Structure 1
Amino acid sequence: MTVRVLAMAALALAVASTAAHAADPRYPDWPCTQAKVPDISLAAVWAGPPLDDVQNKWKDDAKISALVAKLSARKTPLDEAEKSVKEFLAASATDKTANAKLLFAGLFDTLNAQRSQVMSGLERVSRKQREAADKIREDTLALQALQGATPRDEAKVEALSNELIWKTRIFEDRHKVVRFVCEVPTTIDQRLFALGRVIQQEME
């Protein structure tokens, strides 16, 4: 069993080493292969009229605030969100431009905040993974020393083997989750761009 344990630990350490090597030196805790872009640029997702005059005013409109919450939720399919935008603006009549600006300002603020929260979470997990990798490395060396000791304490070898298996599995599970969550900021970018495009089209 100890050979398998050491193989698992070696795999975990290889994953940790690869992740560390791939990290952008400007963002040492960023664990994703995707480049870290701290904030979405308004100019990259909005070519409509300036939003300076609306800013946080969208929060004062209960209907728009509720719609922003629905459209920003990842559980809301994008096609459904786009349909809701069209229906809302079609019913806006003379206030269409004002409502469109308020709606996008709300989406921009909310999705940017979501994105920042996800990215901060990823970096927290990355720091935990680095600490876990250091501990796995220490335990692997300790296990090798116990295996080579004379006389060999089988109870200690067994206990440390089991501990190393547990730590390695946690490390690998976190790694899989990180890989999945690394896609989320890009998904948020795409949602904001798509909804911004629909809003602008409906304003024309």
Structure 2
Amino acid sequence: MEPYSCDTFVALPPATVGNRVIFGKNSDRLFDEVQEVIYCPAAVHNDLEKRLKCTYIEVDQVPETYAVVLSRPAWLWGAEMGANEHGVCIGNEAVWGREDISKEEALLGMDLVRLGLERADTAEKALDVIVDLLEKYGQGGNCAEGKEFSYYNSFLIADRNEAWILETSGKYWAAERVQGVNSYLQFGS
């Protein structure tokens, strides 16, 4: 089998020319999985009693969501990566650790990417959104179409001023603020 990788990186000033932020991601999703690039406009949600349907479970809705551009596998609600109208970018990676991976349906890491983008106008707020949802609803369920594949997630979250790496395992998490240039790489074979 050919080796593959799933990589996300960020470069922040002063490591960049012109004080720019550079954010990028590639994916190791299945070669025949349809990836969509979609735009979801900002929205006001007046009926907060109505729950939001994610890939497997429903979560509480919020009064307002931001406009997002997402790259996502067509079969699920969440996203592999994306950006919102405030310049927040998030990408996720599969991670494995000592915790057993939950096959019970909960939020997928890709659901958390989309929820973080729709609900936060800074990288730090997106981190807080993801952590709060992770602690409330957990993560788990099948992450692939047509085969059994489950994992926990790491997230690289950036905006115009800062970036964060968020590592998760079940409902456990740890975050570190990025200084300069950083990446998260996941390799397999």
TM-score, length of structure 2 as denominator length: 0.25
Which structure ranks higher in relative contact order (CA pairs < 8 Å, sequence separation ≥ 6)?
Answer: 1
TM-score, length of structure 1 as denominator length: 0.24
Larger radius of gyration: 1
Higher strand share: 2
